[in-house]
Amino acid sequence: MDKAMDLSFWQLASAYIFIVLLIVIVRLRGIPREKEIILATARMSLQLILAGYLLVYLFENPHPLFTLLIIALMQAFAIYNIYKRTKYALAFEMKKYIAYAMVVGIMISLFYFIFVVIGVEPWYEPRYFIPIAGMIIGNSMTGISLGVSNLIEGFQANKARIEGALMLGASPKAAAKKVVNQAFDSAMLPTINSMVGMGIVFLPGMMTGQILSGTSPLVAVEYQIAVMLGVAGSVSLTVILYLQLAYRSFFNDRNQLIIQKNNTKEMKK
């Protein structure tokens, strides 16, 4: 296979015309997003450049502590991002469940993938470990973000029905089952939809990158299938761990439904 083409500075710079086009469109439409778009573009560019130099160093100096440190930082940033992206103020207990589900669910999925599915030697090889971890963590972050919002909104919208079920003798788990199931379904939908359209509607980023770098399309397909299955498993595991822990926070010790002001009714400004 041919080697990847290296973009020149001017070729890369020419791609920013798409951002200029976006800014022109939002300005003509009277949408006040110019500063946000410019900031997002600058942050993306700077973060990717720094990540590129960091990855070059890690690839040339592989070490298990470096790899685990990077994964820990990625996890911490993802958890913090969930807290920030959720439109409701979260109680400490809810934040604890989010962090637990993210760490446990992702690490189980990631190490299974590394040791069993692709069998990397050594296991901490950053060229494989970090990109795969990034895809698993990123998708799990999106899944839990949706799960958090849908769980809170589900309890708000179904307050009367849940209280009625409790009065008739249902356990908190049974009374909340519909809300938990709907939250899980909503959290999984983006992952399922991306799997449905993959290969026909679009080629995913990882596969496109491999092909552009000179990898055989068939090899790229093998890795993409494996990664998407790993992503689906990780999202499902992290989301269900969170939901099975978090729904209990809506009930007190006497199995009565409680609406916690600090994580359900105070909208972030």
Eight-state DSSP code of residue 88: B
What integer pLDDT is reported at residue 252 of this predicted model? 85
Helix (H) or strand (E) holding 126: helix 126-157
Q: 102 and 186: one domain?
A: yes
Q: 114 and 130: one domain?
A: yes
Q: 97 and 46: one domain?
A: no
Average pLDDT per block of 10 residues along the chain, 269 residues long: 69 93 93 92 93 90 92 94 88 93 95 91 89 92 94 92 90 92 94 81 66 75 87 95 93 80 44
Round to whole Å and give the CA distance between 154 and 148.
Answer: 10
What integer pLDDT is reported at residue 230 of this predicted model? 92
Query: Which structural domain range is residue 256 located in?
Result: 63-265
Report how many domains make up the chain: 2
What integer pLDDT is reported at residue 262 of this predicted model? 44
User: Which CA distances in Å does 266 have to 19, 152, 185?
Assistant: 35, 11, 25
Q: Report pTM.
A: 0.81
What integer pLDDT is reported at residue 266 of this predicted model? 44
Q: 151 and 249: one domain?
A: yes
